[in-house]
């Protein structure tokens, strides 16, 4: 490629994004965005604390110990241990995605990437970081991570090509948040964003057998983003052309047929990407949620019960069917990616919460009986982002149909504050003492008023857990 085509480093998209990260303050954030950030930070930390007892987190932590990496100053949430900030970002990011409790609709799972990186960066900031500063860093992380995905043409083409966008796009959001916490200047932040391209990776091959590495994508992205910011602080350079339409650029490489390069800067500082992110009420892949909600809504509207159902037909697009149409219930990861299991669990146990995905629940004979009632019809006319049409036929012959275009938890159909706090207390209560659960909830809900996030929030996350049993997945 001819060098004449290259844009001057200080005029690149990477440079403009870096200046945006550096100059943005809490006062620049709309109040609604700041308040929404508090909810997502609470939710993400809740997911990561619960994930402390996940098998993936336990294996990862044991591996780091065996490799001589088991010491440091940064807390592993809900484990009563500390490691280096880089390894804490890796472990806490993996834990945050371990139970499918984390938010979605960002990079995709932005909370599991950005929040662990930002918390780990507190240990290296060299100064107290206020709640307002922390919120600002997190909002910026969500923004950059989502812009990376939209620059690929958004979720469907990028993930449809086999890339798990949490891993490929997440490092840029983690780098932005960490750079803000560390107080990097515009040049250093530009380098950090460019360096983050070295950590971009993650494939959907895990969907075929429920492999645990899907959880690692979030942790790797969090660690990579933090490492990128730390390297930049020390003078390490990253490619200024990372986001340009050049050979080796992110878009050119990851989205050769769907690239939308203008998305990196479109409506920058006006369209805050956190606004589109969803909080998950169900402990399963987001692509299962519309079907769960559809059945729940029909039962509520028409007053029938689960044992009256003869058949459930789900008319679905090929992309989501390929990802979530499976019927495997082991390991737990496979069940969480399965629409048949998730719907059946909701019907049998009354919810698709984390408790409904334990091994004991998956092996309940009523599950197999209910899953046998669910069948699919693949509709090639549906777009990849279309939610399925759900038809329920009862034993008496009555039939009902609905489609839920915006599942519960989406920005236009949000979970209530009460439901969010109930979810938080439920999952964090599996790990921390009731007193620590209360203290953590109080600090996070009042995060805007906190003067030192490390002392007032991270300290609680590092306390000795009440429960150490590994979740039986």
Distance between CA 205 and CA 221 in Å, rounded? 17
Tell me the whole-structure pTM to 2 decimals: 0.94
Q: Among 236, 271, 239, 266, which residue's Cα sits nearest to residue 252?
A: 239
Q: Which two tokens stand for residue 47?
A: 């997911």
Give the chain's domains with CATH numbers. Answer: 13-279 (1.10.4100.10), 286-403 (3.30.1330.120)
CB 377 within 8 A of CB 312: no
Distance between CA 368 and CA 335 in Å, rounded? 12
Distance between CA 250 and CA 231 in Å, rounded? 20
CB 281 within 8 A of CB 414: no
What string of pLDDT tens digits covers the 473 residues of the chain?
A: 445 579 999 999 999 999 999 999 999 999 999 999 999 999 999 999 999 999 999 999 999 999 999 899 999 999 999 999 999 999 999 999 999 999 999 999 999 999 999 999 999 999 999 999 999 999 999 999 999 999 999 999 999 999 999 999 999 999 999 999 999 999 999 999 999 999 999 999 998 998 999 999 999 999 999 999 999 999 999 999 999 999 999 999 999 999 999 999 999 999 999 999 999 999 999 999 999 999 999 999 999 999 999 999 999 999 999 999 999 999 999 999 999 999 999 999 999 999 999 999 999 999 999 999 999 999 999 999 999 999 999 999 999 999 999 999 999 999 999 999 999 999 999 999 999 999 999 999 999 999 999 999 999 999 999 987 778 77
Q: What CA–CA distances, in Å, run from 233 to 69, 125, 193, 236, 304?
A: 23, 11, 12, 7, 61
Q: What CA–CA distances, in Å, run from 451 to 135, 137, 253, 457?
A: 12, 15, 42, 10
Q: What CA–CA distances, in Å, run from 322 to 21, 318, 342?
A: 38, 6, 16
Instruction: Give Dmax over CA atoms of the chain in angstroms.
Output: 73
- 360 burial type by CB count under 10 A (0-12 exposed, 13-18 middle, 19+ buried): exposed
Distance between CA 384 and CA 381 in Å, rounded? 9
CB 274 within 8 A of CB 177: no
């Amino acid at each position: 490629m001819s060098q004449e085509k290259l844009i001057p480093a200080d005029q690149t998209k990477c440079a403009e994004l870096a200046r945006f990260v550096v100059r943005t303050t809490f006062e620049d954030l709309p109040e609604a965005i700041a308040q929404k950030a508090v909810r997502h930070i609470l939710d993400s930390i809740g997911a990561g604390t619960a994930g402390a007892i996940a098998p993936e987190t336990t294996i990862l932590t044991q591996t780091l110990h065996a490799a001589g990496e088991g010491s440091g100053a940064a807390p592993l949430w809900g484990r009563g241990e500390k490691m280096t900030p880089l390894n804490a970002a890796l472990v806490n990011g993996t834990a945050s995605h371990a139970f499918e409790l984390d938010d979605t609709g960002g990079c995709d799972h932005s909370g599991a990437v950005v929040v662990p990186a930002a918390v780990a960066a507190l240990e290296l900031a060299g100064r107290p970081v206020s709640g307002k500063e922390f919120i600002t860093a997190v909002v910026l992380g969500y923004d950059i991570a989502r812009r990376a995905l939209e620059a690929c043409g958004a979720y469907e083409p990028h993930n449809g090509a086999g890339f798990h966008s949490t891993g490929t796009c997440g490092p840029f959001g983690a780098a932005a948040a960490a750079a803000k916490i560390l107080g990097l200047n515009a040049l250093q932040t530009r380098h950090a964003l460019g360096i983050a391209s070295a950590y971009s990776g993650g494939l959907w091959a895990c969907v075929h057998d429920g492999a645990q590495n899907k959880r690692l994508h979030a942790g790797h992205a969090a660690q990579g983003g933090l490492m990128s910011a730390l390297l930049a602080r020390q003078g390490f350079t990253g490619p200024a052309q990372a986001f340009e339409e050049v050979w080796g650029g992110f878009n050119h490489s990851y989205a050769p047929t769907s690239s939308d390069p203008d998305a990196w800067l479109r409506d920058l500082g006006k369209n805050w990407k956190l606004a589109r992110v969803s909080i998950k009420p169900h402990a399963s892949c987001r692509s299962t949620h519309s079907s769960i909600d559809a059945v729940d809504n029909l039962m509520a509207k028409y007053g029938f019960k689960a044992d009256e159902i003869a058949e459930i037909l789900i008319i679905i697009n090929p992309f989501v069917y390929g990802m979530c149409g499976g019927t495997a219930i082991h390991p737990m990861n496979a069940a969480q990616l399965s629409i048949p299991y998730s719907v059946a669990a909701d019907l049998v146990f009354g919810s698709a919460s984390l408790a409904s995905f334990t091994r004991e629940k998956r092996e309940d004979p009523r599950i197999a009986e209910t899953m046998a009632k669910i069948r699919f019809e693949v509709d090639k006319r549906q777009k990849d982002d279309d939610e399925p049409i759900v038809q329920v036929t009862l034993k008496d012959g009555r039939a009902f149909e609905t489609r839920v275009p915006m599942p519960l938890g989406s920005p236009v159909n949000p979970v209530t504050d009460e439901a969010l706090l109930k979810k938080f207390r439920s999952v964090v209560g599996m790990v921390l003492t009731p007193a620590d659960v209360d203290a953590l909830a109080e600090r996070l809900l009042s995060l805007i008023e906190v003067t030192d996030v490390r002392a007032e929030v991270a300290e609680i996350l590092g306390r000795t857990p009440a429960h150490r049993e590994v979740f039986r997945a």
